[in-house]
């Protein structure tokens, strides 16, 4: 069974409530009908009900809740809560009242208040516009200081990873993480491997050096991140610093890092920075023909996930299924 089919089956096993703030966008409307038909989630679309129906009049929206944030009866409650959360940062009551009428902020407040279990957006919003309210309002999980992202990668050649399935992090959020941030990214990726991919994580902290073969500040950062991650999660199978071939190829791994429980067996790859992470996942996607699901936010207290502005209807369906699966955790 393909990875996304396993995730969809998980989503169906305990149906969660997901909000789509971009309810007036045609791909979201078309995806919503598919999601409800497949039983992947209970859905709320945000937007003017007439406009939501106008963009795809052929789509049957039976069973899908449509809420207009501009006229919602919950605006006053949401605004009061948002003001209390952000007044120390200078937010006024008037600003809070105006912000909750924005579908993105309204959707995040739904998740914050427990009126939805997760959120998916980004078809017409930038990653920054999607992340800002989520980080301001929902914030990170207890004990996790860094919200990051991962991609679930499924390679047709099943030589590497867990039957071809791997987790790559961070490929979309943190540009130049320091050692502590990198350790938090590793722990988030391990959690994503367990909860979404259903695999026991074997985490490789990647570098251009293996076990001190090169000397540089960038190598030192990965070494420090490895030590911090071990302190935070001593039972986690995690090793570093490792070059990519040492992480994936058993013969090379045991030559360069003999006795390592991860070298040559890694299924979670933690990249040292966004440049390498973003380039790395796209190389595997394009050259190896891998399916790449993400970016999936990890480390956030409640699931909120971003879409590419070039996403397809099926991409939205998959991301909602992933978000619903995350919400079960």
What pLDDT does 129 receive?
84
Average pLDDT rounded to a whole number, residues 293-315: 89
With a cut of 90, say whether residue 225 has pLDDT above it.
yes
List Cβ neighbours of 84 (8 Å cut-off, separation of 6 or more).
Answer: none
Closest to 204 measured CA to CA, from 292, 275, 271, 280: 271
- Which one, of 209, 216, 204, 223, lies nearest residue 256 by Cα? 209
| 179-192 helix and 217-232 helix, angle to the nearest 10 degrees | 50
More confident: 280 or 329: 280
- Residues of the chain with pLDDT > 70, as a percent, come to 100
- DSSP summary character for residue 61: -
3-state secondary structure of 204: strand
Q: Cβ distance 19 to 40 under 8 Å? A: no
270 - beta bridge partners?
Answer: 169, 205
The string of pLDDT tens digits covering residues 230-288 is 999 999 999 989 999 999 999 999 999 999 999 999 999 999 999 999 999 999 999 99
The pLDDT score that the predictor gives to residue 175 is: 93
**CA 265 – CA 153 distance, rounded (Å):** 16
- The answer to whether the beta carbons of residues 219 and 208 sit under 8 Å apart is yes
- How high is the mean pLDDT of the chain? 93
The answer to whether 191 and 226 have CB atoms below 8 angstroms apart is: no
Which whole number is the average pLDDT over 85-113?
A: 93
The yes-or-no verdict on residue 215 having pLDDT over 90 is: yes
Mark residue 138 as left, alpha or beta (left: phi above 0; alpha: psi -120 to 50; beta: remaining): alpha
Q: What is the pLDDT of residues 165-199, one digit of tens each?
A: 999 999 988 999 999 999 999 999 999 999 899 99
Question: Does the pLDDT of residue 329 top 80, yes or no?
Answer: no
Whole-angstrom distance, CA of residue 55 vs CA of residue 279 = 35
Q: What is the pLDDT of residue 69?
A: 95
Q: Name which of 136, 88, 89, 130 is nearest 112 in CA terms.
A: 136
17 pLDDT higher than 80: yes
Q: For residue 239, list its beta bridge partners.
A: 204
Of 56-70, 116-130, 314-328, least confident by mean pLDDT is 116-130
Segment 103-137, tens digit of pLDDT: 999 999 999 999 999 999 988 888 788 888 998 89
Amino acid 182: pLDDT: 97
Computed on alpha carbons and rounded to an integer, the radius of gyration of the chain in Å comes to 21
């Amino acid at each position: 069974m393909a990875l996304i089919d396993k995730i969809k089956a998980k989503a169906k096993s305990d149906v969660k409530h997901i909000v789509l703030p971009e309810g007036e966008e045609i791909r979201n409307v078309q995806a919503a009908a598919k999601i409800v038909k497949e039983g992947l989630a209970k859905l709320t679309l945000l937007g003017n009900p007439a406009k939501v129906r106008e963009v795809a009049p052929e789509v049957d929206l039976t069973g899908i809740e449509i809420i207009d944030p501009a006229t919602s009866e919950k605006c006053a409650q949401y605004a009061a809560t948002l003001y209390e959360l952000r007044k120390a940062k200078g937010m006024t009551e008037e600003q809070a009242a105006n912000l909750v009428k924005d579908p993105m902020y309204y959707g995040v407040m739904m998740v914050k208040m427990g009126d939805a279990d997760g959120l998916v957006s980004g078809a017409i919003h930038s990653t920054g516009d999607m992340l800002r309210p989520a980080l301001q309002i929902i914030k990170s999980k207890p004990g996790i200081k860094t919200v990051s992202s991962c991609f679930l990668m499924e390679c047709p050649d099943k030589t590497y990873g867990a039957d071809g399935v791997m987790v790559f992090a961070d490929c979309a959020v943190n540009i130049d993480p320091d050692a502590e941030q990198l350790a938090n990214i590793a722990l988030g990726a391990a959690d994503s491997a367990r909860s979404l991919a259903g695999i026991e994580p074997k985490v490789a902290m990647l570098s251009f050096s293996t076990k001190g073969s090169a000397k540089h500040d960038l190598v030192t950062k990965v070494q420090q991140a490895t030590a911090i991650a071990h302190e935070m999660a001593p039972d986690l199978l995690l090793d570093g610093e490792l070059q990519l071939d040492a992480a994936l190829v058993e013969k090379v791994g045991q030559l360069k890092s003999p006795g390592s429980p991860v070298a040559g067996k890694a299924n979670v790859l933690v990249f040292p920075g966004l440049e390498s992470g973003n380039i790395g996942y796209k190389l595997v996607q394009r050259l190896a023909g891998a399916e790449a699901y993400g970016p999936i936010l990890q480390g956030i207290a409640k699931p909120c996930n971003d879409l590419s502005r070039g996403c397809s209807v099926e991409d939205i369906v998959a991301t909602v299924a992933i978000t619903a699966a995350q919400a079960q955790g």
